[in-house]
């Protein structure tokens, strides 16, 4: 019996050892698998789980770039931006936090300290200047997004960020401010939703003005709280460039007041004044009636929010006679003192033309035809030019070509090809009917005569200024010679004689020699139907004629009353005088031109 028992025990031992070895092997295998998995996850992170986890803990806050300013020619701010912040709370996070940790400097060393929620809210209330009870109500609740305070200044925002209160974040916003209100309002434009340029320079220069936003990236824990020693990365914003204009804001204000007063007095639908430096092409004033205040553009009608000096095209009327005279002289078809016999009317090719005043048969000079703005004489002299020449000369003076000055919706006007002119239009274009153009196009043409026949492209944007103060001048477009210097001088004498000897005596300015031309045209009704709904009255001139510096044009659309009693002379004289004073232009020397208006 004993022997059988012993044999049985000795037979079981090897099996137990095998099971033990098998169990140990399985445990080692399992440990290897788990260890390998941990190595893959934590060491190699083949599946990007660690990166995904980190990304899930990252919080991004946009740091808005400061929008560039818009400045006048002297650096006066017309538009600028200020950075403000909204203080926002996630009430769910803030409410459940009784204490939090904050990184502070203690005895010259940074260390984490425990801060109670009550202490944090007391400090936040002090920074915001709020009552503690009101602040506590604002941060208590279950709303994930609640604005505690708006328009917080940057220094206060910095204090709030350093408090590191759970659930409290700041959001940067850019606030646009227009310190001069409606001065050059249509030119400056405004922003849509406070961020994107909607009109004027704000719209066309939006990309340069807005710059590039930055961001702050920091790490939060599973409870939504910021980890004090976690990731904290800052990408600084790149502020936008300033846009420096050619405008003089003081002269702009003066011109706006002048045209608004004239328009109101005569109940006109709108009015425009342009002041251009003839030597540079710089637009130093470009005034519209009912100019919008960019701080609140909705207070004026949408039709008044643009810049009619460049957007409104209309028949210019007799101001166009200057171009006809210049073409005749340059082509050798006439001279200022050539004589023309004019009756009460003039008929050519079955088309009859008359003047705005009654007269018998007279012997007029070319200078006298312009000095008294005679349609009859302009057609008689102008028919010496072929139809193609009439068209080409209007094109040479920039008619039909939109000036690019950096504003939206700039009008090209209408200059129909000469092959499509009817029997009357081929003559009316000589005195500014059957063709349309903007006020700026007319001013550009007169500038070329004032500048000895050299046309400069109008300039509104003078330079871009980087945040570091570096100024980048906007290059001027290449000049072009429209007429010779001799022709330009003869046309200047004709324009000056229209003031000294002709019908435009109310344009005269004491101490300065002035040349000018008036214009009147019928204004078609806005409904597009046949017929006219008033007149467009204008005056454009230059001074001082011994060395012309400025071009000024005044335009009124559909003023009320008899067109023969309406004059823009006093307004022209007032604005031109102000321009000459503003830029300290010395009084004229020498005698003015006095070309005879009648032939002997």
Work out the pLDDT band at 4, boundaries 50, 70, 90. very low
At residue 526, the pLDDT reads 82
Work out the pLDDT band at 50, boundaries 50, 70, 90. low
pLDDT at position 410 over 80: yes
The model's pLDDT over 300-357, given as tens digits with 9 standing for 90+, comes to: 999 999 999 999 999 999 999 999 999 999 999 999 999 999 999 999 999 999 999 9
Per-residue DSSP letters for 376-406? HHHHHHHTTS-HHHHHHHHHHTTTT----SS
At residue 36, the pLDDT reads 64
Q: What does the alpha-carbon distance between residue 424 and residue 420 come to, in Å, rounded to a whole number?
A: 11
Q: What does the alpha-carbon distance between residue 528 and residue 535 come to, in Å, rounded to a whole number?
A: 15
* CB-CB contact of 418 with 391 (8 Å): yes
Q: What does the alpha-carbon distance between residue 182 and residue 260 come to, in Å, rounded to a whole number?
A: 12
CB-CB neighbours of 395 under 10 Å: 13
Residue 524: DSSP 8-state: E
Q: What does the alpha-carbon distance between residue 207 and residue 185 come to, in Å, rounded to a whole number?
A: 20
Q: Which of 598, 594, 572 lies closest to 500, judged by CA?
A: 594
pLDDT at position 38 over 90: no
Q: What does the alpha-carbon distance between residue 268 and residue 559 come to, in Å, rounded to a whole number?
A: 4
- The single residue listed with the structure tokens 């203080």 is 87
* CB-CB contact of 337 with 365 (8 Å): yes
Range with lowest mean pLDDT among 54-58, 313-317, 427-431, 543-547: 54-58
**SS3 state of residue 556:** strand
CB-CB neighbours of 264 under 10 Å: 11
SS3 percent helix, strand, coil of the chain, rounded to 5, is 35, 25, 35
Residue 321 or 227, more confident: 321
* CB-CB contact of 430 with 379 (8 Å): yes
The model's pLDDT over 139-184, given as tens digits with 9 standing for 90+, comes to: 999 999 999 999 899 899 999 988 989 889 898 887 899 999 999 9
pLDDT at position 66 over 90: no
Q: Which of 472, 156, 147, 439 lies closest to 306, judged by CA?
A: 439
At residue 416, the pLDDT reads 97
The model's pLDDT over 252-308, given as tens digits with 9 standing for 90+, comes to: 999 999 999 999 999 999 999 999 999 999 999 999 999 999 999 999 999 999 999
Give the CA distances from residue 590 to residues 27, 147, 247, 452, 511, in Å, rounded to whole numbers and listed in that order: 115, 71, 31, 19, 11
In this prediction, what percent of the chain has a pLDDT beyond 70? 91
Q: What does the alpha-carbon distance between residue 392 and residue 233 come to, in Å, rounded to a whole number?
A: 64
Give the CA distances from residue 548 to residues 201, 247, 265, 459, 519, in Å, rounded to whole numbers and listed in that order: 29, 19, 30, 18, 21
Calculate mean pLDDT across residues 571-598: 97
């Amino acid at each position: 019996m004993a022997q059988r028992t012993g044999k049985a025990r000795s037979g079981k031992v090897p099996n137990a050892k095998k099971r033990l070895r098998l169990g140990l092997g399985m445990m080692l295998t399992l440990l290897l698998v788990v260890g390998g998995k941990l190595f893959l996850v934590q060491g190699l992170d083949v599946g990007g789980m660690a990166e995904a986890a980190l990304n899930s803990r990252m919080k991004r806050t946009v740091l808005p770039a400061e929008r560039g300013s818009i400045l006048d020619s002297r650096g006066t701010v017309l538009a600028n931006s200020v950075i403000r912040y909204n203080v926002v709370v996630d009430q769910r996070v803030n409410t459940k936090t009784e204490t939090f940790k904050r990184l502070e400097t203690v005895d010259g060393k940074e260390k984490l300290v425990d801060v109670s929620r009550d202490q944090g809210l007391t400090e936040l209330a002090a920074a915001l200047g709020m009552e503690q009870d009101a602040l506590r109500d604002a941060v208590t609740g279950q709303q994930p997004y609640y604005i505690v305070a708006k328009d917080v200044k940057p220094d206060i925002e910095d204090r709030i960020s350093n408090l590191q209160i759970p659930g409290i974040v700041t959001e940067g916003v850019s606030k646009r401010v227009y310190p001069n209100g409606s001065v050059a309002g249509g030119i400056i434009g405004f922003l849509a939703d406070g961020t994107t340029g909607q009109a004027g320079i704000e719209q066309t220069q939006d990309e340069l003005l807005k710059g590039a936003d930055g961001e702050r990236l920091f790490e939060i824990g599973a409870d939504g709280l910021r980890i004090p020693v976690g990731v904290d990365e800052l990408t600084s914003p790149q502020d936008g460039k300033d846009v420096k204009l050619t405008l003089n804001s003081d002269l702009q204000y003066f011109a706006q007041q002048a045209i608004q007063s004239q328009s109101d007095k005569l109940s006109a639908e709108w009015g425009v004044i342009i002041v251009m430096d003839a030597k540079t092409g710089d637009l130093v004033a470009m005034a519209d009636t009912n100019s919008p205040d960019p701080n609140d553009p909705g207070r004026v009608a949408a039709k008044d929010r643009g810049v009619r000096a460049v957007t409104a095209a209309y028949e210019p009327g007799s101001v166009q006679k200057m171009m006809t005279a210049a073409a005749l002289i340059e082509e050798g078809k006439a001279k200022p003192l050539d004589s023309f016999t004019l009756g009460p009317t003039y008929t050519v090719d079955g088309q009859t033309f008359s003047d705005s005043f009654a007269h018998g048969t007279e012997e007029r000079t070319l200078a006298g035809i312009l000095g008294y703005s005679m349609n009859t004489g302009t057609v008689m002299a102008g028919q010496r030019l072929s139809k193609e020449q009439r068209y080409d000369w209007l094109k040479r003076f920039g008619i039909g070509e939109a000036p690019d000055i950096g504003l939206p919706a700039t009008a090209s006007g209408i200059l129909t090809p000469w092959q499509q002119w009817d029997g009357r239009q081929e003559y009316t274009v000589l005195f500014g009917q059957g063709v349309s153009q903007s006020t700026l196009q007319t001013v550009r043409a007169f500038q070329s005569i004032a500048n000895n026949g050299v046309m400069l492209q109008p300039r509104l944007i003078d330079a871009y200024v980087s945040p570091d103060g570096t100024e980048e001048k906007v290059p001027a477009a290449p000049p072009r010679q429209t007429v010779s210097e001799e022709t330009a001088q003869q046309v200047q004498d004709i324009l000056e004689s229209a003031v000294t000897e002709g019908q435009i005596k109310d344009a005269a300015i004491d101490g300065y020699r002035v040349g000018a031309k008036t214009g009147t045209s019928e204004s078609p009704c806005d409904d597009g139907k046949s017929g006219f709904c008033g007149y467009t009255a204008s005056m454009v001139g230059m001074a001082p004629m011994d060395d012309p510096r400025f071009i000024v044009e005044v335009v009124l659309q559909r003023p009320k009353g008899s067109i023969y009693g309406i004059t823009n002379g006093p307004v022209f004289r007032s604005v031109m005088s102000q321009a000459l004073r503003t830029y300290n232009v010395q009084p004229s020397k020498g005698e003015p031109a006095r070309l005879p208006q009648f032939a002997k």
